[in-house]
Amino acid sequence: MKGGQLEDKTPYRPCPFCKRDLNQIKSRNRTVYAIEDTAPVTRYHLLIIPFRHCETYFDMTREERCDAHDLIVSLRRQILMEDETVTGFNIGINCGGDAGQTIFHTHIHLIPRRNRDTPSPRGGVRGVVPDKMDY
């Protein structure tokens, strides 16, 4: 205890999205940018990230959410032009540790999908709870 408060023993880890390499940015607009996912689910898997540090989607401003939407639409168009095998997309956001968030700076996954890239795509993002995917 220090000055009447509990001491935080959590080791400081700088936010990887705040400490960004500008050379990694694939696209951007006013308040958000896109980079490739370092552990991609599929080819062209991108992350759309606010420049401002905010923990979850619910902490984003209206302007950031609108800019994220606009960038997602633009990136989708680019991906479809570059890869004719793309037939669908998953858009995902993990908010909180119990939802699978591991980097606590908002990031939106844009994951291109292709015919037969998985034996049964039915349920899509419901796959986060495997028993609930096939309905």
Catalytic residues: 107
Q: Is 65 left (phi over 0), alpha (psi -120 to 50) or beta?
A: alpha
CA distance 83 to 92: 21
Hey, which residues does 34 pair with through a beta bridge? 27, 48
CA atoms within a 13 Å half-sphere pointing along the CA-CB vector of 15: 14
